[in-house]
Structure 1
Amino acid sequence: MKNGLKKMLAVFFSSTLILAACSDGGEKEASSEKYKIGVTQIVEHPSLNAAFDGFKKAIEDAGINAEYEVQNAQGDNSSNTTIATNLVSANVDLIFANSTPSAQAVASATSEIPIVFTSVTDAVGAELVDSMEKPGGNVTGTIDAHPDAITNTMKFLKDELGAKNVGMVFNSGEQNSRAQVDAVKEMLKEMNMSVVEASVATSADVKQATESLIGKVDSMYIITDNTVVSALESVISVANENKIPMMVGEFDSVKRGGLAAYGFEYFDIGYEAGQMAVKILKEESKPADLPVQIPQKLKLIMNKDTASTIGIDVKDEWKAEFSE
């Protein structure tokens, strides 16, 4: 009798342990599901890096276990295309494309893998999506163009700084940049102001292109051009040396020495892109059904040191915040 009872208890406890082990194993498998995210970025500079930081933070905050395959083209478009091919071949679960050229390259490489972009100015013009409201296909994301940013910047240059001729250094081969320059030119026609263009192909051309504007312009506006922003210190040195006020397209460029920007934090648009990626990875939404988002906050940030260097008094009525 005692031996029989012992055997029954042994079987019971053994069965319980097996069930518990199966249960624990099942829970671990569910919670430890790992997603492979491919990341492509056209070049290294603070704004794009901040956007990637924001993206990763959103993934982390959602409890997503992610492994990143990160590749940077370092401004080389041929490398950009190779990176896109490599990420598709790696069979990643999702691709995060950080810049217009990066997004265009991966969108051309795959129509199957979900793509979420950020740091893109004109998603429709770049042929990444059918429309902002209904992207269609496998691509969606967040743009780095607030509808009021250029308008506010041009009004500030004219009304507050008395500018008439605005110098713009940009890579004409980057669709993102061409769209912004054209928008500025169209706007300035109505304001009796003009744009003086200086085109570059690589970051090595930036300083010489900026110097070519001296004597032709009374202000500058450096947009979110990856080639130029990656060599921004060259522009800043020329502008400051010649006492030319230089507005920029985003806050990181203000911190680096630009006079001011009407903008937003690239970390924020990266974070918002990450939130979209979470919905896609969890199969709550498809890229085709997630509208492209614009930046949520727009404000004026100024660099007091730069203002002092070029002899501009910061007025209280500008209601500006200041870079640290």
Structure 2
Amino acid sequence: MHIRKLVTGITMTGLLLLGGCSSKQGGSKSAVKHVGILQVVQHPSLDKAYKGFKEGLKEGGYTEGKNLKLDYQNAQNSQDNLKSMSEKLVNEKSDLILGIATPAAQSLANTTQDIPLVVTAVTDLKAAKLVKSDAKPGRNVTGTTDMVSIDKQINLLLSIVPKAKTIGVMYNAGEANSKIQADMAIAALKKAGVKIVVKTANTTNDVQQVTEALAGKVQGIYVPTDNTFASAAAIIGKVVKEKKVPLVAGSVDQVKTGGLATIGIDYELLGKQTGKMAAKILDGKAKPQDMPVEKAENLKLVVNKEMAKALGIDPKSIKAPK
């Protein structure tokens, strides 16, 4: 009887030890991780960032339906939705949350200082008060920036319209990321000695009118990676095609939809980078406060050949400035 109890006790102890080992092995990826996603609005660049994020998580060992549960929320550019959806994801005690674009990232960061938060499609994390510095975030937030060389994009536009006397800049002044880029673009244009006309729009409903008003006054247009204008890229494309005005955009996807060219980011690849960062956090191998903010690994020249032909420009003549 005593022997049987002893054997049973040893067996139970062994099972408890094994169970304890299993629960501590974050890298075993056996437990289902809950990841919340908040996207500010639906448009191709941000949709691709989310798609890439899932690819990055999968490469890191987390697959939806197996050991990963995703809760995707899209605020459709509504501040009220951003607030309520942020609270929902935080209250659900997600293991990690993704913020896609600056407004979503800021809303989440204002809602939780505890849950690990990764962000993507954010131009300047420090300026947005998301991190203390890109090198050492110092809080529960890290991620990837979509900042590219605005100077190169402006030089690209000026190389397409070398005789231009006036260049237009369009953006939503209410988007912090857009204002940063627009200010840089304006500074580069001033340095180049051209006249600048600036137009802003707060909603997608205003974009067509703003574009039509600007296109009649300029020989070229620059639009940064702006969520409001990206959401209306097709409308913008129709106007600039009719007015025969070349448009360089900050986003590759906006060029494909309604612009002429850019030196920009593949948002799917940027999202993938972010997903790999998130996987390391879920593994317990890294903490957001210690993970440097990452830049896009690959930039590329993208030319919309159909738009070029409609504008009477040889697509092969568009080259990336050195």
Shorter-normalised TM range: 0.7 to 0.9
**Does 1:160 pair with 2:130?**
no
Matches within 5 A, 1:1-324: 31-64=29-62, 65-146=67-148, 148=149, 150-162=150-162, 163-315=164-316, 318=319
Q: Indicate if the aligned counterparts of 1:58 and 1:271 stay in contact, CA closer than 8 A.
A: yes
- Separation of aligned partners in 2, 1:102 and 1:66: 22
- Separation of aligned partners in 2, 1:93 and 1:31: 13
**For structure 1, which runs of at least 5 residues remain unmatched after alignment?**
1-11
Q: Secondary structure at the match of 1:128?
A: coil
Letter in 2 for 1:151: D
Q: Secondary structure at the match of 1:256?
A: helix
* Structure whose CA Rg is larger: 1
Q: Indicate if the aligned counterparts of 1:158 and 1:164 stay in contact, CA closer than 8 A.
A: no
Shift of 1:138: 0.5
**For structure 2, which runs of at least 5 residues remain unmatched after alignment?**
1-6
- Separation of aligned partners in 2, 1:169 and 1:283: 43
- Separation of aligned partners in 2, 1:95 and 1:104: 12
What's the Cα RMSD here? 2.7
The superposition leaves residues 29-58 of structure 1 with CA deviations (integer Å, 9 ceiling, x where unpaired) of: 954311100100000011101111111011
The superposition leaves residues 230-260 of structure 1 with CA deviations (integer Å, 9 ceiling, x where unpaired) of: 1111111110000000111122122213111
The superposition leaves residues 174-197 of structure 1 with CA deviations (integer Å, 9 ceiling, x where unpaired) of: 101111111111121111023322
Shift of 1:173: 0.6
Per the alignment, residue 6 of structure 1 pairs with none
Q: Secondary structure at the match of 1:173?
A: coil
Q: Secondary structure at the match of 1:299?
A: strand
Shift of 1:23: 7.5
Q: Secondary structure at the match of 2:46?
A: helix
Q: Indicate if the aligned counterparts of 2:61 and 2:279 stay in contact, CA closer than 8 A.
A: no
Q: Indicate if the aligned counterparts of 2:156 and 2:319 stay in contact, CA closer than 8 A.
A: no
Percentage identity across paired residues of the two chains: 39
Q: Indicate if the aligned counterparts of 2:160 and 2:318 stay in contact, CA closer than 8 A.
A: no
- Separation of aligned partners in 1, 2:70 and 2:316: 46
Kindly tell me: are residues 316 and 170 of structure 1, through their superposed partners in 2, closer, same or farther at Cα, counting changes over 3 Å? closer
Kindly tell me: are residues 126 and 303 of structure 1, through their superposed partners in 2, closer, same or farther at Cα, counting changes over 3 Å? same
Letter in 2 for 1:209: V
- Separation of aligned partners in 2, 1:278 and 1:315: 41
The superposition leaves residues 7-43 of structure 1 with CA deviations (integer Å, 9 ceiling, x where unpaired) of: xxxxx9xx99xx99x989x979954311100100000
Letter in 1 for 2:228: T
- Separation of aligned partners in 2, 1:207 and 1:90: 40
- Separation of aligned partners in 1, 2:318 and 2:226: 30
- Separation of aligned partners in 2, 1:297 and 1:193: 30
- Using the size of structure 1 for normalisation, the TM-score is 0.87
Q: Indicate if the aligned counterparts of 2:59 and 2:276 stay in contact, CA closer than 8 A.
A: no
Q: Secondary structure at the match of 1:318?
A: coil
- Separation of aligned partners in 2, 1:317 and 1:216: 23
- Separation of aligned partners in 1, 2:29 and 2:182: 48
Q: Indicate if the aligned counterparts of 1:88 and 1:110 stay in contact, CA closer than 8 A.
A: yes
Shift of 1:160: 3.4
Shift of 1:316: 5.2
Kindly tell me: are residues 27 and 136 of structure 1, through their superposed partners in 2, closer, same or farther at Cα, counting changes over 3 Å? closer
- Separation of aligned partners in 2, 1:291 and 1:282: 17
Q: Indicate if the aligned counterparts of 1:118 and 1:273 stay in contact, CA closer than 8 A.
A: yes
Letter in 1 for 2:36: G
Shift of 1:227: 0.9
Q: Secondary structure at the match of 1:135?
A: coil
- Separation of aligned partners in 2, 1:264 and 1:75: 22
